[in-house]
Chain A
Amino acid sequence: MQPRPFVVRARRRELADTVTLELTGDAPLPFSPGQFNMLYAFGVGEIAISISGDPAQPEVLRHTVRAVGRVSEALCGLRRGEGVGVRGPYGTPWPVAEAEGLDVLVVAGGLGLAPLRPAILHLIRHRQRYGHLVMCYGARTPADVLYQRELARWQRAMQVEVTVDSPVSGWQGSVGVVTALLPRAAVDPARAVAMVCGPEIMMRFVTRDLLRMGLPPERIYLSMERNMKCAIGLCGHCQLGPAFLCKDGPVLPWSRLAPLLSVREL
């Protein structure tokens, strides 16, 4: 319940409004891909941010944060050597263990790539345990493509497809929504696991298409976003029907989410 003091070791600007913080504390913070921490900006507040680091390197805590509110702006403004409070890790992980022996289709939209990065690093590190690996990634513009240099590196180990909604001159890649990339994914739907993260509307359309492709609902995993305050299922804010998304999620299979997401404003 109490934040542990961490210090900003490095800060890298990823996009115009997005930075990646590297944090170190008095002890490593082991985590599973897909889990999140509560990050506390001194005197400003605390928010849930997915861990975007490498699960094999828990001594460096990595978070990619986009400045959209008071707390995220404060976090993005932190400089090297400044303190930050960390509680976690919390929540359910991506099913990287259950996916062994199967194809894996990673679908990300915008900043949704950040929570998937630990899973991708895990999949690549243990490449031989999996079948085909594919990532489909959609961003608004070429300038919004996250982790650009890494995407090229990942391409050596997996099929990487990137699309943007609005191209600029010089963009040679795909244009359109991320669902348009799905038919290109070299996976066998009958023996594939999908890990999807992005805006909720994007995840709904991606799921619709994945189901049409023949992926079973229990193997389509989404990372859900709700207002998370306590992260331990006590404050009530993140409820989606019977689920507390902070502890029963954020990663849940479509088979559990479908009845809940079919109700407007649940």
Chain B
Amino acid sequence: MLTEDGLEALVGALLRRGYRVIGPTVREGAIVLDEISSAAELPVGWTAEQEAGSYRLRRRADRARFGWAVGPHSAKRLLFPPSERLLSVRRSRGGLVVHGGVAQMPPQALLGARPCDLAAIAVQDRVLLGGAWADPAYQARRERLFVVAVNCGEAGGTCFCVSMGTGPAATAGFDLVLTELIDPDRGQPSYLIRAGTPAGQEVLAELAGRAATPAEVEAAAEVVARTAQSMGRRLDTAGLHQVLTGQPEHPRWQEVATRCLTCANCTLVCPTCFCHTVEDTSDLSGEHAERWRRWDSCFTLDFSYVHGGSVRPSVRARYRQWLTHKLATWIDQFGTSGCVGCGRCITWCPVGIDITEEVRALRGPGGSA
């Protein structure tokens, strides 16, 4: 067990090991992931109310650090940043001189990863490391990542991890895992902490904790059980592959296209969406060029552009591509669903399109499956 001060000791132990500690913190009205140097920067006493197309910070009555569900950021930002330089190229007399390689950067420790975030990292591992060509930049960051997970004590308004089998309790993919227990009278949190790896064990040994009592272990189990029970949304995955791939002309695709703005928010907040583009640029002298990678989205017209036009000019086809890929063809490609049930795409959709509701509608009349 750790006290509130024990959390500070944990951050200190990670910093001493040379990690950049990335944790949840309040910025511009949201709980985002950013570099922190103290546990005091965690969102003490904050929660976030989430619904389709809506996110609001609210004060809590207690001093919980993790009394909220996921914010707009995920571990994707840490391991697969929104933009990064892949190459630098110089023109010389003999032709081109290409410099690549992965830039050296300090290892990162993610404090406060949710079980759905861990599942999303596992999905991205399969995509970016599991094939014939592993992504070297992702690999370099991933191998050095230290993960402090947090079991969920609050179901966000848009969460559906229980349906996807990814939460609300962390089962794998962490070095350390916390469960936040709140003293109901004083509103003071304490933390059940457990190591998942030798690296985590090593850090844990440095912290001035005490052994948990059976009652505390039980209370921690109750926390996640309560979270699971209070989850308001669900997504039925049974036979879903056929529902999506087998009904490309279902009228719901056209209906959702009348609401979708193709803004790409859902793909950017999604912790597994990996599609990216590259941009080649040159400086004013024309002698030095660079290649940058940045997140891309299947919702843009450019995404499927080939000479002559876009393959998917209609909104209907682009939404269909996203949802079908996420929940069906992803399984064909990588042996896993692309959805971890975090609900970010629902919360951050400016018009409140709800992936669970769309799936329900696609199971309904009008289709052929």
Q: A residues engaging B (CB < 8 A)?
A: 1-7, 40, 42-46, 68-69, 82-85, 225-227, 229-230, 232-237, 239, 241-242, 244, 247, 263-266
Contact = CB atoms under 8 A, between A and B. Distances in A.
Contact of A83 (B86, B91, B281, B311): B91
Interface of B: 86-87, 89, 91-92, 94-98, 100, 127-128, 131-133, 135-136, 245, 248-249, 274-282, 286, 289, 291, 296, 298, 303-307, 311-314, 316-317, 321, 325, 329, 332-333
Given A42-B282, A237-B275, A241-B329, A227 B98 contact: no
Contacts of B281: 43
A233 B132 CA distance: 9
B277 A229 contact: yes
Nearest to B101: A2
Contact of A235 (B89, B132, B296, B332): B296
A233 B96 CA distance: 26
A153 to B, nearest CB: 30
Contact of B100 (A1, A69, A235): A1
Nearest to A47: B307
Given A82-B95, A83-B95, A265 B303 contact: no
Given A42-B96, A43-B281, A68-B307, A235 B275 contact: yes
A4 to B, nearest CB: 8
Contacts of B275: 235-237
Contacts of A46: 278, 280, 291
Contacts of A265: 311-314, 316-317
Contact of A233 (B131, B282, B289): B131
Contacts of A45: 279-280
A264 to B, nearest CB: 7
B18 to A, nearest CB: 28
12 contacts: A1-B100, A3-B87, A3-B89, A43-B289, A46-B291, A84-B95, A226-B311, A233-B132, A235-B275, A236-B296, A237-B304, A244-B333
B296 A242 contact: no
Contacts of A44: 280, 282
Given A242-B332, A265-B313, A234 B97 contact: no
A-B pairs with lowest CB-CB distance, top 3: A43-B282, A83-B95, A236-B275
B329 A242 contact: yes
Given A5-B98, A226-B304, A234-B276, 13 more contacts: A42-B91, A43-B289, A44-B282, A46-B280, A227-B304, A233-B131, A234-B133, A235-B277, A236-B276, A236-B325, A239-B325, A263-B249, A265-B317
Nearest to A86: B96
B138 to A, nearest CB: 9
B325 to A, nearest CB: 7
A265 B298 CA distance: 13
A65 B127 CA distance: 32
Contact of A239 (B249, B277, B282, B329): B329
Nearest to A248: B333
Contacts of B131: 232-234
Contacts of A83: 91-92, 94-96
